[in-house]
Every structure is written in structure tokens, then in C-alpha cells.
Amino acid sequence: MEVWNYFRNNQSDVLHWLWNNAWLAGVPLVVGFLLALPIGYLASRYRWIYPPTVTATGLLYTIPSLALFILLPGVLHTKILNPLNVVVALTIYTLALLVRVVADALNAVPDEARSTATAMGFTPRQRLVGVELPLAVPVIAAGLRVAAVSNVSLVSVAAIIGVPQLGQLFTAGFQTFSNAPILLGLLLVILLALAFDAVILLVARALTPWQRVAQAR
Amino acid sequence: MIRFEAVSKIYPDGTVAVDHLDLEAPSGQITVLVGPSGCGKTTSLRMINRMIEPTSGRIWLDDRDTATVPPAQLRRGIGYVIQHAGLFPHRTVVDNIATVPFLLGQDKRSARERAMELLDQVGLPASFAKRYPAQLSGGQQQRVGVARALAADPPVMLMDEPFSAVDPVVRAQLQDEFLRLQHELGKTIVFVTHDIDEAIKLGDRVAVLRIGGKLAQLASPAELLSRPADAFVAGFVGRDRGYRALGFTAAGSLPLRQEATVPLGLDLSEAAGQAEDGWVLVVDDENRPQGWLALTGVAQEALHGPVTPDLLNLGGTLATVEGTLRAALDAALSSPSGRGVVVDADGRFLGTVSASQVLARIEEQASAVRTARSALAVGSEA
Amino acid sequence: METSLSFANVLTWLNDPANWQGPDGVIARIGEQVYYAIIAVVIAVVIAIPLGLVIGHTGRGVVVVAGMANALRAIPTFGLLIYLVVLISPRIHSRGDLPYLLPTEIVLVLLAIPPILTSTYAGVQNVDPEVRDAAKGMGMTGSQVVRKVELPNALPLVLSGTRSATLQVIATATVAAYVTLGGLGRYLVDGLSQLNDPHAGYPAAVAGAILVALLAIVADLLFAFAQRFLVPRGVSGRFRSTAKAAAPTSVSAGPMEVTVGPS
């Protein structure tokens, strides 16, 4: 097949791009998530923080990626094709998405579980770690999956600004008007996205044994 | 001992939930807070473990002012049981029970062992240990909730309508088992319910609160039934007070009438010979009553074959010889033959008693009480 | 050169009226972008809302559709765009944008359908079963129940799904400039190829980026207002509160609502 040949001929580049795509999507996912946790927690704990936070993050999320890829170099004083632009941009999107998810997930924890924990003598920190976060895992995991898949896909747009990753297959294909690189790119991006999705799903399942049991009833 | 000292709770919008409550819950006893919605019973309960902070007044736990103890620490020494158990869905049953011991830093192994003991004590099989709350019924979850409250062996337990969310049959079982457990453990318990019958059944002392958070009466159940403090309490306690009060008086030694009984399997024609007024009591081979056999109006020819369970009338209740006047009266009233069946502690037949005999005993006792009371009144006036 | 990547000339560019007028001017570009977006959203709405109503009302096909919507999210829109352009444009022999517009619109429609579809059927399913029951009990036929009961109650979610879809479309339409279309993305793409030009280079690109961000924000706000005024009073805020054990599934309104994806 053409696609396979293309891959063989450009193997080292393609693998290099695949690897780049993975960490360009993955690092923002992790960093964005870690930043979203405290902010989301505050937004769930203190009611008045929630609306402005959600609005602000919502606004951030509406900014098209290409626009952000172009604005950031000026702000960060980096070169246009510096991957850092992509990492920062995607971290912003991940953060914007997950803050709301974390806040909603924590709010969805049954009040009874929360107040029982307090009544039994959990300190707020113990309650958060021992009760609220574990129960929030399913919803947070769902949000993480959306963020992960979305990140993988967004990275490819950065080919327009010259960052080396799988999106280069698309631009190459456009420039030469040939299908093979495009199809290869589509295939690899989709596989990468599904891989992220599966990993998060499996980890979430492992962390929530009580859910499996409830469904088995 | 838990003591409320002029405790009030007033919310910012002016609602008075609890109004200068003075109350003492003696150690080792069950004190029930009961009243209509809005009487502040749950608020009062939750002020004990500082889930709600009083606006004024103090609450004493033995000799400590609860306000001086850090809340988390205070709560770890108090067992807390609520309506829907509030079990942590993400932890197994055994880990749910062991929650407070874990919090207190106890090592996991011994905490879980203790949890298994408690599981047994609340009447659940050991196989439930690794299950999750979602796999348990409401009644089972409630038992786990009680076990969890007991895990750190707190001297005090707070219970907020713990049995309200289950159906009446399960509720009665849970109440009986709870009484049995308390008999073994002797905790200081403050129990909130909206059900006056539950309060009367479970409480050593009952505090009736009125809307607006004021105490209307604090008394033993018997006294609540026989001498309600005012119209509100009387209305709240409800009808059939006299009858229900009989549940608090021992029947004492009733004149039991020996009568012939018939074993299962005996031939019907022989059984007919034993019947009085057309009824004979049928027992098993351990002399435990199985039911009444009706023989009036049955033709001689139909009387063949053995006495079998499906022929029996099961209408009558059984009164135990150590039981209450209420049980004795009910046994007599519900018996199809008019003769109430009395059994010993092992359920073996002792004799029968008639309704008029029980009533005679009731009147005897009532008049004795009246005499004693007027003697007291005279004495105190003297 | 780093020195040219500064914001210094952006204001100059924005203040220059020449940049606003004419076929290459801001006004024209905004018009083009809005035009591309509206076509896609309208088509998507026409397809997705009725389909979503049927799926939600009958309850059939939910799993299939949900699964597909999820899977579609994994497809990179940029790649899909390029693929369709390469595939389709050589076959269309007409003047103007059509060879590139057609594949772009296909991608935009495909992008817009999932959020509208899932939010529509979720909205219908979220309708309190007792309300539905009462409606049937009063003698409403299936389609009347849909029109008079389910749709109005599902409106908040439908609107939020459409809002999501619109934002994604606007974002992707920006990238469409890469495949020679117009729109505000033109400034970004062109600017990238002449970064060092102090007028048409980075400053133009940044100006374009700011403008497209503003366009997205304005569109978002318009939807917010629409949601506030179009949704019947009794319905707004009538989300079924997340039940305990059902937390993960019923908050599918959460991450699903936020399938706002720039592309």
C-alpha cells in the first residue's frame, strides 16, 4: 500500500513526529490537570468563585488554536516554531476544560458522603483526599479523556507554524496533493488519540472498583 | 453524660431553631429527641458534635465544654448514624466500618479485625465484608452504619432518624436489635426521631420538643403517656395512650388456667373430645402452641384424619409470663377462643387467661397507682 | 527574528483604515468567516436536531450514536480537512472558492453535528419521565409530545450544543485559510509566510488572531443571551441534578458540553 511505503520511506521522520505529537499532547494534559485541580477545588468549595472562573475558562476555550499559537510567541518571546508555544497553548486549553470538570465532579459528590465524613471527624483535607476525590474520579476521567483526545488533534494544527509533529504529514500531503501522507497522518493521529483515551479509561477503571461492582448487579 | 445549658440556635435570617434548651442525657441511657418538623431536634443533635455551632449556650460532654475541643477530634470520639447510612460508596463494607479507627491511626490489620467483629455484632454475615455499599439493601446498609459508628468504641452515639428510611418490618427488626445491642454496650445515646412510637419504644427518657425549638417535656415513656405536660404533648403523643401505657407495666402473676392441649398429629375425633366451647389449643411435641383448632358445628362424620397445621387458626398472639399487661390483654383479645395463651420464656405453654381477668389486674394496678399518688400529694401538702 | 515578533505594530495595523476595507480588508474577512460558519451550522442543525429528537424520544440508537460521537472526536479536523480538499478539489471545475469551499464545509458540518446531536438527545432524555407520562396521559400523540413537551424542555441543552458547535466551526474555519479560503485566518496564514514584514507580517497575523478571538467571544456571548431569553422560564435551571450513583453518566452534560474544541 502507498501509505505503508510512505511510512517506510520516511520512517525516522514519522516516528520522530509521532513521539513529538505524544509529548506535545501529553505534557499539557498533565500540567493542565495539575493546575486545574486546586482551582477546580476552590471553585467547588467556595460558591462565589465558580461563576467567574467558569466564564473566564470558557472564554479561554473559545480562542481558536491557530490564533493562540500566533499570539504566544509574542508574549513568551519565543520563536514561532518553538514547541513551547504549543505546550503553553494546549496547557491553557486543558486547564480551561478541566477546571470546570473538576469543580463539577467535586460538586457531584453526594452531600451525605461529605457530611458524614465531617461528622466522623475527617479534617477538610482528609475528606478531600479520602472521600471527595475518589468519588470524583469517574467524572474527572471523562473530562481527561476529552482533553487528551482534543490535545492530540490540536497539535496537528501546529504544522502551520512549523512545529515538527504528525501534522507535518498533512501539510506535506497538501503541498504535494498526495493522499499517502495524509492518510498515514490521519491513521497515526487517531491511533494516538485512542491510545491516550484507553490508558485514561483503564486507569480510571482501576481506581474505581466499586463502580464495576455496582454495574454488575 | 451530655448536658445542654441554655443552648440556642438562631439563624441570620431570624429563624429560631433551638430556644434556650436545657437538657440532660444521662450516661448509659438512650435519650430520644422527638417532635414535629421544625422543632429543632436534628439541629440540637448536630450541635453536640458541632456540625452546627450554637449561637449561645454551652454543651457539656461529661465535664468538657464541647466548644473547647477541636471539632475533628471531638467527632472522632462520637459515633454518628444518619438516615441513609451515608456509607462511602467507594469503600468496601469492612473499610467503611473501620473508617474512624483508620483516621485515628490504628493499624489496618487490627482495625479490620475489629470491624469484622462488629459486622457480626450487628447481625451481618462475614461474606459481606468485601462488598460495596451499592450491593446492600437499605436495612443492611443501616446496620453497617451502626457498626461504623461503634468501631472506635465511642462512649457517645448520635443517631438521626436512623431507621426511618426502611420499611416497617425491617424497622422493627432494627429497633429490636438496637435495643439488644444497647443492652450489651450501655452507650450514652441521643436519638432523634419524628415517630413518637419509636421514641416510646426505644427511649429511656424522651424529650418532646415543640416548633420553635423549645422543650415541652422530658420524661420517661410511661410518664409521657400517663401524664403529658400540656395539650401539645398530649396531642403529639396521640391516641390510645392508655392502651400503649400498658406496655410499660409488667403483667405480674396472672391467674393462669390449666387446660387440655392437643398435639399435632392426633386424630381429630379424639381432639374433639378435648375441646371446650368448641376450641382446643394445638401444641407441638415441645409443648409450644401452634394455633387453635375450631370444632364447633363440625359433624361427627367429618372428624377423621390427623390434626395438621393447615387446619389451625393462627389469630391469637402469645403473652409471655414475664411480659407486659398490654401483651396479656392483646393475647386475650386476639384469641379466637377468647382464652389468651401464656407461655414461658422458652415459648412453652403455661396456661390461658381471659380478657376480664387481665382487666381486673389492670384496674387493680391503676387503683394502686392512684392511691400512691394521692398519698404522695397529701404527704407533700402536709 | 525574535525582534519582529513584537506587538508593537499591531495597533498601527488595526488603526489603518486601509486594512479594514476592500476585498482583503477586515470587514470582508469577517464576513467570509461568518458566512462559512453559518452555512455549516445551519446544515448541521437541520440534520442533527431532528435526528437527536427522534433518538431521544424513542431511546433507540443512543449507544451507537454516543459511541460514534466519541470516536469522531479522535479524528483530527485539520487532517480531515486536508484530506477532503486533496480528494475533492481536483474534481470540481468551477471558478471561485467552490473546490475548496465544498470539502471545507463538509468538514465543518461533520464537526458541528456531534455536539448538537448529543446535546439534543441528552436534552430530550433528561426530560422528567413523569412529565412525559403526563403528556401521553393527556392524549398527546408521539410527535406532539416531542414538539410541545420534549423540545421546549430540551432547549437549554440543545442551545448549548449548538453554541459548542458554532465555536468549533469558527475555530476550524480559521484554519481553513491554510487551504486557500478566506476569512480572518487569511491574516494568520499569510502573516506566517512573511513574518518579518513589519506591516503584513507578524503584526497582521496578531491582529488577525485578536480579531478571530473576539469573533469567537462575541459569538459565544450572543448564544449566552439567546439561552437566557429563548428558554422558557420554568425550564431554565431545570437540569436533573446529578444523582449519586449516576454521577458519571448524567454529568455527560459536563465534558460533553465542553466539546468546544478549537481546531
Instruction: Give yes or no for residue B360 having a pLDDT over 60.
Output: yes
Average pLDDT score over chain B? 88
Q: Which of B224, B248, B272 is the last residue of a domain?
A: B248
d(CA B142, CA B129): 14
- Is residue A64 over pLDDT 60? yes
Tell me, yes or no, whether B356 and B242 share the same domain.
no
Quick one: which of B231, B189, B240, B241 has its CA closest to B210? B231
Q: Which residues of C touch B89 (CB under 8 A)?
A: 244-245
* Integer CA distances (angstroms), B124 to A28, A76, B120, B138, C207, in order: 49, 63, 5, 13, 71
Q: Which residues 136-175 of C have a C-beta within 8 angstroms of A?
A: 167, 170-172, 174-175
Contacts 24+ apart (CB under 8 A), A134-137: A134/A207, A134/A208, A134/B90, A135/A109, A135/A110, A135/B88, A135/B89, A135/B90, A135/C247, A136/A102, A136/A105, A136/A106, A136/A108, A136/A109, A137/A105, A137/A204, A137/A207, A137/A208
For the ranges A19-23, B76-80, C123-127, the lowest mean pLDDT is seen at C123-127
Q: Which residue has the higher pLDDT, A11 or C241?
A: A11
Could you report the per-residue pLDDT of B221-243, keeping only the tens digit for each?
A: 988 888 888 899 988 888 888 78
Contacts of A117 in chain B (CB under 8 A): 88
Q: Which CATH number is B276's domain given?
A: 3.10.580.10
Range of the domain at A79: 2-212
When pLDDT is cut at 50, 70 and 90, the band that residue C234 belongs to is low
List pLDDT tens digits, range C17-34: 888 888 788 888 899 999
| ipTM (interface pTM) | 0.87
User: Is residue B372 domain-resident?
Assistant: no
C225: left (phi over 0), alpha (psi -120 to 50) or beta: alpha
Closest CA to A41 of A83, A103, A128, A88: A103
Same domain? B124 vs B184: yes
According to the model, what pLDDT value does residue C248 have?
Answer: 28
Please indicate if any CB of chain C lies within 8 Å of the CB of B134.
yes
Taken in order of first residue, the domains within chain C and their CATH numbers are 2-233+247-257 (1.10.3720.10)
Contacts A135 to B, Cβ<8 Å: 88-90
Q: Are residues B294 and B232 part of one domain?
A: no
Most confident of A78-87, B247-256, B291-300, C35-44: C35-44
Band of pLDDT at residue C2, cut at 50, 70 and 90: very low
The reported pLDDT for the residue numbered C232 is 64
* pLDDT higher than threshold 80 for residue C263: no
Q: Is the dihedral of CA B346, B351, B352, B358 positive or negative?
A: negative
- Cβ of A119 and B75 within 8 Å? yes
- In this structure, is residue B6 part of a structural domain? yes
Structural domains counted in chain A: 1
**Does B285 share its domain with B161?**
no
Q: Are residues B238 and B93 in the same domain?
A: yes
**Residue B44 near residue B213 (C-beta atoms within 8 A):** yes
CB contact under 8 A, B86 and A214: no
Chain B residues inside the 8 Å CB shell of C244: 89
Q: What's the pLDDT tens digit per position in A92-134?
A: 999 999 999 999 999 988 888 888 899 988 998 999 999 999 9
Angle at C175 between CA C169 and CA C178, to 5 degrees: 145
Other chains touching A, judged by 3 or more CB pairs under 8 Å: B, C
In a domain, B353, yes or no: yes
What is the tally of structural domains in chain B? 2
Partner residue facing C171 (CB), from A65, A104, A149: A65
Beta bridge partners of C154: none
Nearest CA in chain C to B134: C245
Grouping H, G, I as helix, E, B as strand and the rest as coil, residue C74 is coil
Average pLDDT rounded to a whole number, residues C6-14? 79
Does residue C243 sit in helix, strand or coil?
coil
A interface test, pick of C72, C82, C202, C217 with most A CB neighbours within 10 Å = C82
What CATH number corresponds to the domain at position A60?
1.10.3720.10
C136-179: pLDDT as tens digits: 777 777 777 777 777 777 888 888 889 989 998 998 999 998 88
pLDDT for residue B255 is more than 60: yes
Query: Which range marks the domain in which residue B272 is found?
Result: 261-360
Which has more confidence, C108 or B370? C108
Q: What is the mean pLDDT of chain C?
A: 79
pLDDT given for residue C245 in this prediction: 28
Q: Mark whether B176 and B274 lie in a shared domain.
A: no
Q: What is the pTM of this model?
A: 0.74
- What DSSP assignment string belongs to A136-188? HHHHHHHHHHHHHHHHHHHHGGGGGGT--STHHHHHHHHHHT-HHHHHHHHHH
Partners of chain B (3+ Cβ pairs below 8 A): A, C
pLDDT band at A202 (very low <50, low <70, confident <90, very high): very high
Question: Looking at residue C233, what is its pLDDT?
Answer: 59
Do residue A113 and residue B88 have CB atoms under 8 angstroms apart?
yes
Span A167-192, pLDDT tens digits: 999 999 999 988 889 999 999 999 99
- Asked if residue B253 is part of any domain, the answer here is no
pLDDT of residue B381: 57
B48-52, B115-119, C149-153: range with lowest mean pLDDT: C149-153
What three-state secondary structure class fits C82? helix
Cβ within 8 Å, pair A67-C209:
yes
Do B174 and B42 belong to one domain? Answer: yes
**C21 contacts: CB under 8 Å, gap ≥ 6:** C27, C28
Q: What is the pLDDT of residue C4?
A: 61
Looking at the structure, tell me whether residues B196 and B224 fall in a common domain: yes
- CATH number at B64 reads 3.40.50.300
> Which secondary-structure segment (H or E) carries C247?
helix C247-250
Number of other residues whose CB lies within 10 A of the CB of residue B308: 12
In a domain, A217, yes or no: no
Residue B376 lies in a domain: no
At B133, list the grid cell: 455499599
Q: Is the pLDDT of residue C46 over 80?
A: yes
Spell out which residues of chain C touch residue B134, defining contact as CB-CB under 8 Å: 245
B214, B191: one domain: yes
- Mean pLDDT across chain A, nearest whole number? 90
Chain B residues with CB inside 8 Å of A134's CB? 90
Q: What is the mean pLDDT of residues B34-53?
A: 91
Q: Are residues B238 and B308 in the same domain?
A: no
One domain for residues B270 and B236: no
In a domain, A19, yes or no: yes
C254 in contact with A, Cβ within 8 Å: yes
Kindly compute the dihedral angle of the four CA atoms of residues B102, B105, B108, B110, in this order, to the nearest 10 degrees: -100
The answer to the question of residue B255 being in a domain is: no
Q: Which of A107-111, B31-35, B47-51, C122-126 has the lowest mean pLDDT?
A: C122-126
**Of B187, B222, B248, which marks where a domain is finished?**
B248
Residue B379 lies in a domain: no
> Which grid cell sits at B237?
403523643
Give residue C258's pLDDT: 37
What pLDDT is stored for residue C240 in this prediction?
Answer: 40
3-state secondary structure of A214: helix
